[in-house]
């Protein structure tokens, strides 16, 4: 397997977790390089549902070592909860199966508090992501290595003072975390995670030299990239192929670059959404696709596929492949629409495809798919200049046509 990167080509929740889980069957190493527990990656194995926020989606495959890179921000409480839940479900999460970069920053209780006080205008997940990245840039961040070594007291005090002063001025009466309580909690987490934390650069360099099969798992999506997305309605990290190298700190050649495209569009939180369907049409898509956030449970905004946006995302990232997910959701919804052009008044011009009925997961080849599905896939391959890597026809591992 060539080094493969999997990136959400829209606003997140495209089904990256499912795609990475399928690819992980053939991987030695699965790597997250950005974001934090704002991500929610859902994987169904048999009848069991796993929602991963920080841990790479390769954890469910015994053949994979999983690595969280230095560009991520780690809420250790959330991470420990994830580790404990996986262990309870019988998944091995030993230190040699989950490696944590010592330079990844820690999301603290102050970050969560400030995010919850100030994030409403963007519609953030409230997981403390923006404030954690801001404190990293402010040079008062705490890194996992500091936590392991117990050398984080002065920066924790700096955070408590800074956020305490700002919050008291801007949000009088807001309740703030207790320093001693957070200090002890983080110390204990540092001890518990100690054996997982290390300099991951040699691991990545060795894997690259040995040409090991690797999957790099994106979080969020291209349009949520802090520099290249729909600013200010974005997350606080770089979510693109270009951003991955910054998060890893180790150069990699991603021979296979997969853009994951949900067969329609969704967005959680505020910001522009040119193909959004309001009212009953949007609600039908939401119900059919069960479009509720895997992290916050919020209803996702739904709309048609937007080829204008996708062409930009594919060109930026030079995706070699496209993975199409949730096409099954469109069954029985009547004619399918795809926006192909933005008009001078800002409205979108759509092309229509024949609707289809029935269960796509029964199809064992692309040729066996209904004409509307084949038309949509052909349009995507042609217009995006990428080959179909896989077509996902349901949430389960086995609901997939792996093509290229
Ligand atoms: P991610 O953040 O990109 O990993 O995506 P999420 O897990 O947040 O959201 C995708 C949702 O769609 C999850 O509930 C998946 O179980 C589900 N899913 C993924 N692929 C398919 C598919 O092809 N069909 C259907 N019906 N559901 C899918
Ligand atoms: P996955 O990896 C969908 C959105 C939030 C909000 C904006 C900023 O599951 O695809 P943040 O908490 O990051 O500061 O919120 O970004 N957002 C996501 N939307 N999927 C995600 O991750 C998201 N991570 C953040 O809803 O609009
Ligand atoms: Mg998600």
Average pLDDT estimate for 232-242: 98
Q: Is 334 left (phi over 0), alpha (psi -120 to 50) or beta?
A: left
Confidence class of residue 361 from pLDDT cuts 50, 70 and 90?
confident
Backbone angles phi, psi at 379, to 5 degrees: -60, -45
| Best of 5, 9, 18 for a ligand 1 pocket test (most atoms within 8 Å of beta carbon) | 18
Whether the CB of 259 sits within 6 Å of ligand 1: no
Domains of the chain: 4-102+196-402 (3.40.440.10), 105-195 (1.10.300.10)
Confidence class of residue 328 from pLDDT cuts 50, 70 and 90?
very high
Whether the CB of 15 sits within 6 Å of ligand 2: no
Q: In what order do the strands lie in the sheet with 305-306?
A: 305-306, 336-342, 348-353
Q: Is 53 one of the annotated active-site residues of the chain?
A: no
Residues whose beta carbons lie less than 5 angstroms from ion ligand 3: 13, 40, 294
Q: How far apart are CA 245 and CA 204, in angstroms?
A: 12
Q: Give pLDDT, residue 358.
A: 86
Cα distances (Å, whole numbers) of residue 394 to 50, 204, 259, 279:
15, 33, 18, 25
Q: Give pLDDT, residue 25.
A: 96
The answer to whether the pTM exceeds 0.95 is: yes
Confidence class of residue 42 from pLDDT cuts 50, 70 and 90?
very high
Backbone angles phi, psi at 35, to 5 degrees: 80, -170
Q: Is 13 one of the annotated active-site residues of the chain?
A: yes
| Best of 8, 38, 128 for a ligand 2 pocket test (most atoms within 8 Å of beta carbon) | 38
Confidence class of residue 397 from pLDDT cuts 50, 70 and 90?
very high
Measured in Å, residue 38 CA sits from the centre of ligand 2 at: 6
Q: Give pLDDT, residue 313.
A: 98
Q: What tens digit of pLDDT does each residue of 51-109 get?
A: 999 999 999 999 999 999 999 999 999 999 999 999 999 999 999 999 999 999 999 99
């Amino acid at each position: 397997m060539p080094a493969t990167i999997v990136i959400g080509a829209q606003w997140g929740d495209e089904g990256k977790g499912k795609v990475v889980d399928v690819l992980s069957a053939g991987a030695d190493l699965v790597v997250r390089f950005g974001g934090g527990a704002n991500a929610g990656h859902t994987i169904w194995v048999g009848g069991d549902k796993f929602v991963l926020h920080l841990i790479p989606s390769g954890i469910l495959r015994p053949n994979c070592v999983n690595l969280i890179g230095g560009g991520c921000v780690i809420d250790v409480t959330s991470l420990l909860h994830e580790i404990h839940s996986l262990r309870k479900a019988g998944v091995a999460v030993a230190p040699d199966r989950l490696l944590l970069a010592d330079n990844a920053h820690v999301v603290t209780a102050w970050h969560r508090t400030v995010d919850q006080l100030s994030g409403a205008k963007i519609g953030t997940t409230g997981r403390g992501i923006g404030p954690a990245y801001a404190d990293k840039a402010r040079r008062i961040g705490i890194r996992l290595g500091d936590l392991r070594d117990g050398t984080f007291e002065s920066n924790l005090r700096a955070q408590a003072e800074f956020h305490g002063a700002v919050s008291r001025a801007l949000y009088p009466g807001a309740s703030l975390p207790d320093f001693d309580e957070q200090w002890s909690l983080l110390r204990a987490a540092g001890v518990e995670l100690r054996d997982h934390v290390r300099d991951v650069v040699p691991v990545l360099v060795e894997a690259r030299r040995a040409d090991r099969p690797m999957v790099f798992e994106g979080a969020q999506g291209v349009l949520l990239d802090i520099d290249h997305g729909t600013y200010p309605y974005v997350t606080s990290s770089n979510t693109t192929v270009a951003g991955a190298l910054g998060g890893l700190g180790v150069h990699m050649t991603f021979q296979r670059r997969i853009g994951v495209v949900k067969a329609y569009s969704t967005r959680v939180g505020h910001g522009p959404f040119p193909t959004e369907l309001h009212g009953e049409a949007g609600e039908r898509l939401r119900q059919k696709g069960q479009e509720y956030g895997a992290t916050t449970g919020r209803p996702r905004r739904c709309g048609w596929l937007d080829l204008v946006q996708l062409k930009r995302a594919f060109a930026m990232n030079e995706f070699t492949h496209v993975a199409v997910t949730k096409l099954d959701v469109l069954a029985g919804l009547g004619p399918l629409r795809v926006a192909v052009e933005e008009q001078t008044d800002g409205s979108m011009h759509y092309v229509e495809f024949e609707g289809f009925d029935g269960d796509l997961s029964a199809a064992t080849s692309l040729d066996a798919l209904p004409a509307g599905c084949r038309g949509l896939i052909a349009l995507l391959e042609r217009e995006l200049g990428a080959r179909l890597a896989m077509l996902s026809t349901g949430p389960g591992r086995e609901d997939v046509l792996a093509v290229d």
